[in-house]
Amino acid sequence: MTMKPVTETERNTSPQDCAGCGKRINDRFLLKALEMYWHEDCLKCGCCDCRLGEVGSTLFTKGNLILCRRDYLRLFGTTGYCSACSKVIPAFEMVMRARNNVYHLECFACQQCNHRFCVGDKFYLCDNKILCEYDYEERLVFASMACTPSSLAQLKRQIGGLDGPTVIEDVRKGQTPPTATPSLHPTPLHHHHHTTTPSQQPQQQQQQQTTPQLLQQGPGQTGTQTQQQQHQTQQGSQQRPMLPVFTCSSPRHLNKGTPGHLTTMLGHFRRVTRACGAFRSKINVAVAPATSLRFLGTSSRFQTPNATDVSEDSPERWPLYLDAQATTPLDPRVLDAMLPYLTHQYGNPHSRTHSYGWESERAVETARQQVADLIGADKKEIIFTSGATESNNISVKGVARFYKSKKRHVITTQTEHKCVLDSCRALENEGWEVTYLPVQKSGRISVEELEKSLRPDTALVSVMTVNNEIGVIQPIKEIGAICRAHKVFFHTDAAQAVGKIPVNVHDLNVDLMSISGHKIYGPKGIGCLYVRRRPRVRVEALMSGGGQERGMRSGTVPTPLVVGLGAACNIAQQEMEYDHAWVSKLSNMLVDSITSRTSHIIRNGDPEHSYPGCVNLSFAYVEGESLLMALKDVALSSGSACTSASLEPSYVLRAIGAEEDLAHSSIRFGLGRFTTVDEVKYTADKCVQHVNRLREMSPLWEMVQEGIDLKSIQWSQH
Amino acid sequence: MAAGGRREALALYKALLRESGKFTSYNYREYALRRVRDGFRKAKSLTTEADQKRELEMAKESLQVIKRQVVLGNLYRSPTLVIEK
């Protein structure tokens, strides 16, 4: 950068070339500047094109650029460096000045809490940092805590009871705290001069701390260099040492009211305090814990340590979960697969025009293939629904309504899930005939009876694979063969079976199959229906809409849930053997442990043809509800979740011929992938303990011990 | 098993066990530990190179999954069960 004066215009004696336009100068006068010659008009500012030709005007150069004074200062001039952010402040920008420091307008905020100062705010400079009054006082508190023991003791006493106003005195009395330094008014843009200190400055260096005039229009913009220097020296003389020394005359400064304030203060300034164990122990402060993660509260109210709003019935320690037939926990691998689709990949899989939609569709198709692989189907035969209930509804009602012109008859069993039974009842209202096949004592249906019930106008046979209450596995393969021979559609509700026992739709000759997501460690709210394509099964859609899912189930396919279901099926396929071995081991352990220590235990359901993860035991001479209440440390169920609201014993137990009192005292243990040996042992111990205890209290049990046959008793009428 | 592969497998085994132990949920923790142990025990008897490679890859992926799920479990804590100390 050079500043050179323009030399005088000379008489054009010798011909020269103009440095601006390059032509020969033929005028009488030319300018000479920067060792070059110019036309009078050619020496112009590169920015504003003003003529720099007048003698005496300074021109500024930067590199190859020639600028007039004003433009140069605007572009390259500087007021200095901001004391807060250490960056250059261009010349004409608004600045704040305080105590020999210059700041950007934005930088003039409290550097602790980022509070931008408004008119009337007091601010302090401490160690060349700007602090608002609250932060400043906090600083002082902590600095003084690091001070002499006497002051420490005093502080202890003060902070111990924060109810009243606190006045804290320091050893070094008499020194006044540094007072608020008002900032200076910023430069209005049309003036090109630096800001100056107002003349009011000296008056405000007092204890009263009158409202500093922060953003007022001060007097005179006419700052010359000399005046500036004057004020600066004045400032310098009144500058107090920025020591954390204080005598607060006004109690209101430290009494911000509640201990809560100090609590947050102390918590916030944890790193500032010196280790002072005795002091710290006096203050019960919720200091921020080391792990920031733990500080994040969870949404569940059970996580708060001193929760005052915990309801009475939420337990301190949670029971073990042994109710796998009701629902299963989400496998971590499934959650891991779902999370991208719950966060950033949120596209609608039916959107065809952008990559959000394409990615979602790809995920849905992958999941479809995963589900299809598990049951040995083709992925075109998989339809996603909202759960096994909807799948059952579509199968039963949809098939029946489609073929209602030719067929009139549906066969099902007495132990089906409520949704199938209810759909059949709805069909009955529409004029269909429904046969409810009875089950034998073992829980399985008789295949001969089924064959006998088949009629030429039978549309559908619906038999569930694994019963959710007693765990019995039906002879699906035989039923499928019969149905195929008679050309009747065969639907099976495989919600409890898929992923736990090998299920192949071609081996089993199944035409329709319902799958539920949350029984196989997947998410809730998703299920699937397998609909065979060869020979084609036609289904009338229950949900009308845009024709998604082959027209059988309209509605946007929920990508995260579907991805979860697919992942769950994939995991189930790989882990089926391992899980089956584990669950069998646990089941045998449980049953042996209970039956070896107590007597009169009946297992509902055929032990051979049954899924080991579902154990339904009836405890004779014990009331079922009281046993469940006693076993409150274990999450169990008696009867299925759908029927537990009513007082009636489960219809499934009634169907297998269990006596009334035994049906009432049955407990279902559900074991799954995540159940542990310790949990099973604990459950068995508790069960035995409470059964024995309850039997001790029962007079019926006494009579049984004595050998009286209860059935022969004539109970007297009252 | 090749020497380098054995070392890698051991390192993965230890890492998996360590990460699995960090689950806050009792059921997940016990399952992960058991599954990792049984998985490695079973894979010890594999002979083909391709099989071993496949199992190692699966183990590496599982390690990443476990790490993420441990973090999630710390954010959304499951309550202590009666059976835990």
- Decide if A347 is inside a domain: no
In a domain, A716, yes or no: no
Report the range of poorest mean pLDDT among A160-174, A258-272, A434-448, B29-43. Answer: A160-174
Average pLDDT for chain A: 77
Q: CA–CA distance from A67 to each of A23, A55, A64, A675, B62 (Å)?
A: 22, 15, 10, 82, 66
Between the alpha carbon of residue A202 and those of residues A123, A233, A376, the distances in Å are 17, 11, 90
- The percent of residues above 70 in pLDDT, for chain A, comes to 72
Same-domain status, A525 and A392: yes
Q: How far is CA A25 from the centre of its chain?
A: 77
Please tell me the total count of domains within chain A. 4
For A666, counting Cβ atoms within 10 Å of its Cβ (0-12 exposed, 13-18 middle, 19+ buried), the class is: buried
pLDDT tens profile A62-115 = 888 888 888 887 777 777 778 878 887 877 677 777 767 788 877 878 877 777
Residue A642 designated active-site: yes
Q: Do A28 and A177 belong together in one domain?
A: no
Give buried/exposed letters for A160-177 (b at 16+ CB in 10 A, else e).
eebeeebebebeeeeeeb
Q: Looking at the structure, do residues A545 and A401 belong to the same domain, yes or no?
A: yes
Q: Could you report the per-residue pLDDT of A360-391, keeping only the tens digit for each?
A: 999 999 999 999 999 999 999 999 999 999 99
Show the tokens assigned to A631: 């076993």
- Nearest chain A residue to B38 by CA: give it: A578
| Least trusted range by pLDDT, from A198-202, A308-312, A317-321, A499-503 | A198-202
A430 exposure class (CB count in 10 Å sphere: 0-12, 13-18, 19+): exposed
User: Which of A531, A537, A473 is closest to A505 using CA atoms?
Assistant: A531
Q: What is the pLDDT of residues A628-686, one digit of tens each?
A: 889 989 999 886 544 455 566 788 998 999 888 888 889 999 999 999 999 999 999 99
Kindly report the pTM of this predicted structure.
0.63
Contact B75 A296 (CB under 8 A): yes
Residue A76 lies in a domain: yes
pLDDT at A435 over 80: yes
Query: Domain-by-domain residue ranges, chain B?
Result: 3-84
DSSP line for A405-432: TT--EEEEETTS-HHHHHHHHHHHHTT-
Burial of A345 (0-12, 13-18, 19+ CB in 10 A): middle
Same domain, A657 and A700: yes
Residues A399 and A444 in one domain: yes
What is the Cα–Cα distance from A497 to A514, expressed in whole angstroms? 10
Answer whether A295 touches B (CB < 8 Å). no
pLDDT score at A150? 60
The candidate with the shortest Cα–Cα distance to A619, out of A642, A591, A643, is A591
| Neighbouring C-beta atoms of residue B35, cutoff 10 Å | 18
- Residue A266 maps to which CATH number? 2.10.110.10
From A559, A586, A619, the end of a domain falls on A559
Same-domain check for residues A410 and A550: yes
Task: Name A533's Cβ contacts closer than 8 Å, sequence gap at least 6.
Answer: A378, A380, A381
Q: What is the per-residue pLDDT across A228-277, written as a single tens digit (0 to 9) for each?
A: 444 444 443 344 444 433 333 333 444 444 444 444 444 444 343 343 33
Question: Which among B31, B65, B82 is the nearest to A633, CB-wise?
Answer: B82
Structure tokens at A534: 């060869």
Shared domain for A537 and A427, answered yes or no, is: yes
Residue A431 domain-assigned? yes
For CA atoms A44, A48, A54, A56, give the dihedral sign: negative
CB-based contact, A714 to chain B, within 8 Å:
no
- Best A302, A323, A336, A680 residue to mutate vs chain B (most B CBs within 10 Å): A336
Closest partner CB to A679 (pick from B34, B35, B83): B83
CB-CB neighbors (< 8 A) of B65 in chain A = 332-333, 336
Residue A181 has pLDDT above 60, yes or no: no
Indicate whether A590 and A531 sit together in one domain.
no
- On whether both A548 and A606 belong to a single domain, the answer is no
Q: What is the pLDDT of residues A125-149, one digit of tens each?
A: 777 777 777 777 777 777 766 655 5
Is residue A358 very low, low, confident or very high in pLDDT (cuts 50, 70, 90)? very high
- Domain of A270, in residue numbers: 1-80+257-318
What does the pLDDT look like over A530-581, one tens digit per residue? Answer: 999 999 999 999 999 999 999 999 999 999 999 999 999 999 999 999 999 9
Phi, psi of A524, rounded to the nearest 5 degrees: -85, 150
CB distance A296 to B28 below 8 Å: no
